[in-house]
Amino acid sequence: EAQVTQNPRYLITVTGKKLTVTCSQNMNHEYMSWYRQDPGLGLRQIYYSMNVEVTDKGDVPEGYKVSRKEKRNFPLILESPSPNQTSLYFCASGNTGELFFGEGSRLTVL
């Protein structure tokens, strides 16, 4: 089954404790991206990747890192999480059209 898989789906953590949200797709998509969704602000792009070893900042990259060492994986790293990073995070992948989203990861930073 074609899918984008994110883990964890839910996480409560504390300020400053490094965490990684994994994202994996099995559709051989070149493009992958991370978005955060906050009430009233829609889907804001954090980072995106056009292909392996090619990543670039989106609109809200501060406090986040990414890597794209393999085509299928695009982890989102929060080196020192802060409460303003409490949000719902979506990973997405695609080629030249439709984006496929993961189920989302709800992160709470206390």
Partner 1 sequence: GENVEQHPSTLSVQEGDSAVIKCTYSDSASNYFPWYKQELGKRPQLIIDIRSNVGEKKDQRIAVTLNKTAKHFSLHITETQPEDSAVYFCAASARGSQGNLIFGKGTKLSVKP
3-state secondary structure of 83: helix
- Burial of 69-107, coded b for 16+ CB within 10 Å and e otherwise, reads eebbbbbbebeebeeebbbebbbbbbeeeeebebebbeb
The residue within the footprint of partner 1, chosen from 24, 90, 107, 109 (CB under 8 A), is 90
| Part of the chain binding partner 1 (CB under 8 A), chosen from 12-20, 45-53, 62-70, 78-86 | 45-53
The residue within the footprint of partner 1, chosen from 2, 27, 50, 110 (CB under 8 A), is 50
Told to check if 1 binds partner 1 by CB under 8 A, we report no
Told to check if 61 binds partner 1 by CB under 8 A, we report no
Told to check if 74 binds partner 1 by CB under 8 A, we report no
